[in-house]
Amino acid sequence: MQKTEMLYEGKAKKVYATENPELYIVSYKDDATAFNGLKKGTIAGKGVINNRVTNYLMKMLEENGVPTHFVEEISDSETVVKKVSIVPLEVIIRNISAGSFSKRYGVEEGIVFEQPTIEFSYKNDDLGDPLLNEYHALALKLATREEIDTIKAMAFKVNALMKEFFLKINVELVDFKLEFGRLSDGTIVLADEISPDTCRFWDSRTHEKLDKDRFRRDLGNVEGAYQEMMRRILGE
């Protein structure tokens, strides 16, 4: 599979067209941003880690009945994926309070919820990805009622599978962001990435942060945390 033209360069990945109109190639970068692009930097080795971690998790989810965009890893930092039209919603699942949840509701980080929560943001950088509810998403025609119901069911299934997976490698899955897309026939599949950039991971025993919060909060050893997560997930 060959890249043809670059269609999009985002904050963390580049997206290329291929000779096959139904397939794209995504190329993961070491660039890191936080706070809606206000903080910029690089994390050495992140592109490779996020590519390999995402693909491992997408394959695990596929094997457990979650349809994804994953097709084939073609290099350490590049993957062939099914082309989708991205539903412009960031779907956030939380198992433990942290980040913007703690800030918004004035609660400490680390409260373990009895049930996971779900929330949606409108994926729109110019507006700073504002929080919205299902009625707002319907009013803005970002997705249909059926699509929202499918997305919610898939997101909770992903959470159940991932929580179980991470527990076995001594990682608490605190929260994460998912994106979904429509294939040309309208089928909803899981897209984008699942990585230390898009999830909060805490070591089960020490509660050490093993994710992008080390970059956001200048906690040091960012590269080491990403490497440790890849090592645990891939079992290397």
212 binds ligand UDP (CB under 6 A): yes
**Which residue lies nearer to ligand ADP by CB, 176 or 202?**
176
By CB under 6 A, is residue 182 in contact with ligand ADP?
no
Q: Of 96 and 142, which CB lies nearer to ligand ADP in the complex structure?
A: 142
- Partner touching 199 among ligand ADP, ligand UDP, none, CB below 5 to 8 Å by kind: ligand UDP
Taking a C-beta distance cutoff of 8 angstroms, is the pair 223, 72 a contact? Answer: no
Q: Which one, 147 or 175, has the nearer CB to ligand UDP? A: 175
Q: Which of 45, 88, 99, 116 binds ligand UDP (CB under 6 A)?
A: 99
Quick one: which segment of 22-30, 149-157, 174-182, 222-230 binds ligand UDP (CB under 6 A)? 174-182
Region of 78 (left: φ > 0; alpha: ψ -120 to 50; beta: rest) is beta
Question: What single string gives the DSSP state of each residue in 4-36?
Answer: EEEEEE-SSEEEEEESSTTEEEEEE-SEEEETT
Number of H helices, E strands in the chain: 6, 14
Instruction: Name residue, tokens 């990945």.
Output: 13
Helix (H, G, I), strand (E, B) or coil at 91: strand
Q: Which parts of this chain interact with ligand UDP (CB under 6 A)?
A: 90, 92, 98-101, 129, 175-177, 198-200, 212
